[in-house]
């Protein structure tokens, strides 16, 4: 192996070590703060091809009513596990109440 090849390998290894925290599995997360990708893995958000997707996370974070809570570190959003767990429970309850107010066909239920 040439000296140039060794330098390239060392550069890639350092880059990999720096980036692997961005793609850590939830079981490897030691901090309660998660990136969008880590939150998508935690919530098992996958598209029809089985790939992780952060589209819904971004949509929920930017909606005007009851947004998904996050903190920003510069331009990088971080999501606190306790906050997103609480939000998910509250959102599920909001959805249940909204669906209860509608009939099966989307019209208001009789007697409501």
Residue 108 has pLDDT above 70, yes or no: no
Each residue of 45-81: b (16+ CB within 10 Å) or e?
Answer: beeeeeebebeebeebbeeeeeebebeeeeeebbbbb
What is this structure's pTM? Answer: 0.63
Rounded mean pLDDT, 22-33: 65
Q: What is the pLDDT of residue 36?
A: 93
Q: What is the pLDDT of residues 30-50, one digit of tens each?
A: 789 999 999 999 999 999 999
Q: What is the pLDDT of residue 39?
A: 96
Most confident by average pLDDT, 21-25, 60-64, 106-110: 60-64
């Amino acid at each position: 192996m040439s000296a140039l090849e060794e330098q390239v390998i060392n550069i890639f290894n350092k880059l990999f070590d720096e980036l692997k925290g961005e793609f850590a599995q939830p079981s490897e997360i030691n901090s309660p703060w998660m990136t969008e990708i880590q939150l998508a893995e935690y919530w098992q958000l996958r598209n029809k091809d089985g790939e992780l997707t952060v589209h819904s996370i971004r949509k929920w974070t930017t909606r005007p009513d009851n947004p998904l809570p996050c903190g920003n570190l510069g331009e990088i959003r971080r999501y606190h596990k306790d906050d997103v767990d609480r939000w998910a429970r509250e959102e599920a309850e909001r959805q249940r109440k909204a669906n209860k107010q509608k009939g099966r066909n989307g019209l208001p239920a009789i007697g409501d």
